[in-house]
């Protein structure tokens, strides 16, 4: 394979730039021509395809976001447009594509693979919601960003003896809340995968209050089946303590990637290039038990998520008021 392309798609994640850099430089190092496709599948359909050189990915390793930019493309959900995308790649002589994104982006890649393109999926999403891999690029940075906020919030919550509900991203996958709740010392961690009713949340906050805790911290995933503002209102009424909500929103997406995300992005993208160089079938790259893995792209999308119940239990034990 002589010409390959790289694109970033779906929600941006810190570390995507590190992956683009490694894809471009490893490709050039192997004697291939590497093309950057702007704005995900949307840019592919519009032919926004540029030749990349060694220096075009200089000074981006440490930056969040993605220099290739990203987009969601409703056109690409239709088969005739996927066909158009494959034609566009053909026009440029591009035989292999590295797709850096989440599960939706991988599904788009799997459709392109059906049209004869070799597609390598590199998991880039802060949600950590691709079940075939232990970690996705951007997750570690986002958890650490949330932790920084929690540390600040604890100071002011203690000073005012408040309850604070931090609502973090994660519609179907509660990993951001789970990992931040565990490492941030939340009294209660609420995730979409586990039920927890209002009376139980109140009981736990009251228990903490009775044991002398100066403040209560609840970390809640946005996909948990309760409205944060309503929960705060109910908690105020039931505990007599002021309760506030904090929604970090898009702040969770930005920022300089951590060492872990830069390393993951770099080794995964390098692996994707190696597979394309060796004319491999379409694959998803990931990590399992600390080792780099590769799996058939379609099979990877079928892996069922396993919730880390052990971590959830531990977070709840440690958050108890005793």
Residues forming the active site: 127
Which residues, including other chains, have CB under 8 Å from residue 60's CB and lie 6 or more apart? 17, 18, 20, 21, 67
Sheet containing 188-190: give its strands across.
Answer: 188-190, 216-221, 163-168, 243-246
Beta carbon of residue 78, minimum distance to ligand ATP (angstroms, whole number): 8
Q: Give whichever of 37 and 201 is closer to ligand ATP, judged by the CB atom.
A: 37
In the complex, the smallest distance separating the C-beta of residue 134 from ligand ATP, rounded to whole angstroms, is 17
Closest distance of CB 106 from ligand ATP, Å: 7
Cβ-based nearer residue to ligand ATP, 35 or 139: 139
Task: Quote the Cα angle for 178-247-143, to 5°.
Answer: 35
**Are the beta carbons of 143 and 183 closer than 8 angstroms?**
yes
Residue partners of 28: CB distance under 8 A and separation at least 6? 34, 53, 54
**Whose structure tokens read 């005012």?**
160
Residue whose C-beta lies closest to ligand ATP: 104
Side-chain-side CA neighbours of 306 within 13 Å: the count stands at 7
The rounded distance, in Å, linking the Cα atoms of 8 and 78 is 19
| 286/319 with CB nearer ligand ATP | 286
In the bound complex, what is the minimum distance in angstroms from residue 125's beta carbon to ligand ATP?
A: 3
Output 105 or 216, the one with its CB closest to ligand ATP: 105
Count of residues in the chain? 322
Nearest to 194 by CA among 292, 312, 86, 289: 312
- Is residue 234 helix, strand or coil? helix
Nearer to ligand ATP, 2 or 87 (CB): 87
Binding region for ligand ATP (CB under 6 A): 9-11, 41, 72-73, 76-77, 101-105, 107-108, 111, 125, 127
Give the closest residue to 165 by CA, choosing from 236, 232, 230, 222.
232
Q: How far is the CB of 15 from ligand ATP (least distance, A)?
A: 12
């Amino acid at each position: 394979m002589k010409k390959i392309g790289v694109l970033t798609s779906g929600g941006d994640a810190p570390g995507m730039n590190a992956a683009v850099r490694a894809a471009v430089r490893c490709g050039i190092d192997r004697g291939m021509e590497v093309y950057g496709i702007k704005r995900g599948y949307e840019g592919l359909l519009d032919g926004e395809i540029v030749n990349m050189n060694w220096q075009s990915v200089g000074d981006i390793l440490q930056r969040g976001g993605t220099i290739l930019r990203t987009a969601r493309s409703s056109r690409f959900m239709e088969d005739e447009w996927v066909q158009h995308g494959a034609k566009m790649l053909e026009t440029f002589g591009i035989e292999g594509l590295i797709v850096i994104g989440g599960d939706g982006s991988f599904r788009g890649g799997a459709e392109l693979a059906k049209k004869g393109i070799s597609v390598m999926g590199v998991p880039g999403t802060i949600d950590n919601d691709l079940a075939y891999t232990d970690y996705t690029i951007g997750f570690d940075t986002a958890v650490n960003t949330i932790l920084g906020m929690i540390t600040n919030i604890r100071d002011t919550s203690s000073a005012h003896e408040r309850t604070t509900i931090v609502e973090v991203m994660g519609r179907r996958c509660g990993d951001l809340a789970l990992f931040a709740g565990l490492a941030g010392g939340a009294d209660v961690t609420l995730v979409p995968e586990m039920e927890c009713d209002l009376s139980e949340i109140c009981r736990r906050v009251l228990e903490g209050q009775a044991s002398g805790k100066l403040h209560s911290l609840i970390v809640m995933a946005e996909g948990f089946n309760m409205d944060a503002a309503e929960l705060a209102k109910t908690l105020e009424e039931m505990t007599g303590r002021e309760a506030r909500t904090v929604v970090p929103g898009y702040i969770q997406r930005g920022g300089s990637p951590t060492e872990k995300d830069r390393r993951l992005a770099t080794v995964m993208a390098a692996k994707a290039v190696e597979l394309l160089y060796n004319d491999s079938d379409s694959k998803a790259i990931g990590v399992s038990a600390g080792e780099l893995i590769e799996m058939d792209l379609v099979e990877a999308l079928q892996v069922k998520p396993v919730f880390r119940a052990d971590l959830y239990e531990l977070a709840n034990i440690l958050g108890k008021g005793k």
